[in-house]
Amino acid sequence: MKTNKAIVKTMGKPKLMEPAEGDIAELMQGVLERLGENPSREGLVQTPMRAEKALRYLTSGYTADIASIVNNALFDVEYDEMVIVKDIEFFSLCEHHLLPFYGKAHVAYLPGDKVIGLSKLPRLVDVFARRLQVQERLTQEIAQTIQDVLKPKGVGVILEARHFCMMMRGVEKQHSGAVTSAMLGAFRSQKETRDEFLALIRESASRF
């Protein structure tokens, strides 16, 4: 297999350039063989390439461009109350076992001089969810990126997720979940701001 070790930059972090098409499928065929399967049988003939396409999609966040996603959707608006987008569904892959974890993100910010188009917040969540992740880092990356892009007075992010590495293996607890949070600016320094965020999430959950 040919390896291209050219380095590119993504959000300030170096990564290996995306492998050529078919390279991942070739490796997946070897994985199937080592699991005791026959990659040539009817049900598995196309599986290595399907797996490659799925993995490329599920890790597409590595090559995402934040500036293109934001696409100048920053607007001068005189608004100084909290903005919340809640129940943003996300799916990611645990970097420890390459098993999925999924859940909902609740994102809030206190505007400074600008607000961002509401659809951009779920897109930013997807950028970081579509990488090999741990929930704690995912939460922090979403919050820090919103802080860097928007320069608000504060950012709050809460993620609620279920992890297949806990549900399908290990402790095998199907109904346990993990909650993580990242609070920046006023959300960290002002208890009343954090309390308002949590109250608005609970209140809106009862209405919708």
Contact, 81 vs 118, CB < 8 A?
no
Catalytic-residue membership of 144: no
Q: How far is CA 139 from CA 22, 51, 101, 127, 133, in A?
A: 32, 27, 13, 12, 10
Please report, in angstroms and rounded to a whole number, the separation of the first and last CA atoms in the chain: 52
Beta strands 114-116 and 74-76, pairing class: antiparallel
Catalytic-residue membership of 203: no
Q: Single out the catalytic residue among 52, 94, 141, 196.
A: 94
Q: Single out the catalytic residue among 97, 147, 160, 190.
A: 97
Catalytic-residue membership of 37: no
Q: Single out the catalytic residue among 21, 33, 46, 96.
A: 96
Q: Single out the catalytic residue among 52, 135, 141, 196.
A: 135
Catalytic-residue membership of 175: no
Contact, 107 vs 88, CB < 8 A?
yes
Q: Single out the catalytic residue among 29, 52, 141, 163.
A: 163
Catalytic-residue membership of 94: yes
Q: Single out the catalytic residue among 21, 33, 89, 95.
A: 95
Using alpha carbons, select from 179, 160, 162, 178 the residue that is nearest to residue 86.
Answer: 160
Q: Which residues belong to the active site? A: 94-97, 135, 163, 165
